Amino acid sequence: MSGANRWNLDGFVVSLTAAAPNTVSAYQRDVRLFAEWVSRHGVATPTQVTKAHVRSYVAFLTTSKLARRSIARKKAALSRYFGWLSRNRKIKVDPTLGVKTPSDKGRLPKVLTAEQLRALLEHHPDEHPHWRHLRDDAVVEMLYGSGLRVSELCSLDIDSIDTRRGVVRVMGKGNKERVVPVGKPATQAVRAWVPLRSEVLEVIDELALFLNHRGRRITPRDVRRLIDDRAMSPTHPHALRHTFATHLLDNGADLRAVQELLGHSDVATTQRYTHVSKERLKTAYGASHPRA
C-alpha cells in the first residue's frame, strides 16, 4: 500500500464538506507534508504518530522561521485530520490534543526610539492646565524611570514614594510588594506635582498619588489618554516599561536584577528583553559597520 493510501488523504478531503476550496487544498497539502516529514523519522502510518512527533514537527516549523500564522494553520490542518481519524475510530488517541503553537505573545517588546521617548517626556500640549503638565511629567517619568506597570502606577498612594531616599513601594501581581528605585528626574517631577495635587483633589481623604481631572485616583484609561496626547505616534503605556528594561540590559544590568525590578516571577519573562537588546545590537552593526 502506498504512503498516500496509508494516510487516506482522499477520504479526509471528502470529509471537508463545509470548507472552502482553498482551505481544502491547503489542509491536504499540510497533512501530506507532515506525512513526508514523519516518514523520515520512521513513521509510516497515522496510527504510529504520537504527541511527541507533532510537537517535534511544530518545533521544526518554528526553527525554520515560518510565520506564526502559517504554523498555526498547519497545526489546525493536523488537528482536523487526526480529529477525523479519531471520530472514525481509525486511531485511539488524537496526537494533536494539547500541542500548542507559538503565540503572538512571543513577539519582541516594542522599545521606544530616543525621539519618541523625548516627545513623551518633554511635550506639553498647549491646551492643558499647568497642574496637568506637572502630573503628566511625573507619570511618564515614573513609568520610564522605574518600569512600573500602569496598574501599579495607578495604585500608588502619597506615602508609597519616598522622594528623599529615591524609592517607591509597589504592590505588584499576586499582591507581592517590591521596592523599586526612583531616579532623580522622576523624584523631581513628583515633588513638582504634589503641591498642585490639592488643586484637583475632590475627596479630602483621597490617598492616591496621581489624580485625574475629576479629582479621583487616576485610571489606566487616563494614563493611556495622556500618553496619546504626548506621543508622536500611537504608543501603549507599557512601551515605557519595555524601554526601561531594555535600556538597563543595554547598559550592562544583571538579568536577575532587572527581573526583581520588574517584579517578574519567572526569569524567562525577563529574558525577552535580552533578545531585544541583541536585535538592537545587530541593527546598529548592520547600519554602522563598513564590513556589515
Q: Which of 75, 80, 242, 264 is catalytic?
A: 264
> Whose CA is closest to 274, among 263, 287, 258?
258
Assess whether 69 carries a catalytic annotation. Answer: no
Q: Which of 32, 178, 224, 238 is catalytic?
A: 238
Q: Which of 87, 165, 173, 184 is catalytic?
A: 173
CB of 160 closer than 8 Å to CB of 168: yes
Q: Which of 80, 197, 241, 242 is catalytic?
A: 241
Q: Which of 80, 149, 197, 242 is catalytic?
A: 149
Find residue 170's DSSP bridge partners: 178
**One-letter-per-residue 3-state SS of 117-149:** HHHHHHCCCCCCCHHHHHHHHHHHHHHHHHCCC
CB of 258 closer than 8 Å to CB of 248: yes
Assess whether 273 carries a catalytic annotation. Answer: yes
CB of 229 closer than 8 Å to CB of 221: no
3-state secondary structure of 112: coil
Task: For residues 292 and 33, give the distance between their C-alpha atoms in angstroms, rounded to a whole number.
Answer: 37
Task: For residues 54 and 119, give the distance between their C-alpha atoms in angstroms, rounded to a whole number.
Answer: 48
- What stretch of H or E contains 167? strand 167-171
Q: Which of 27, 81, 144, 273 is catalytic?
A: 273
Catalytic residues: 149, 173, 238, 241, 264, 273
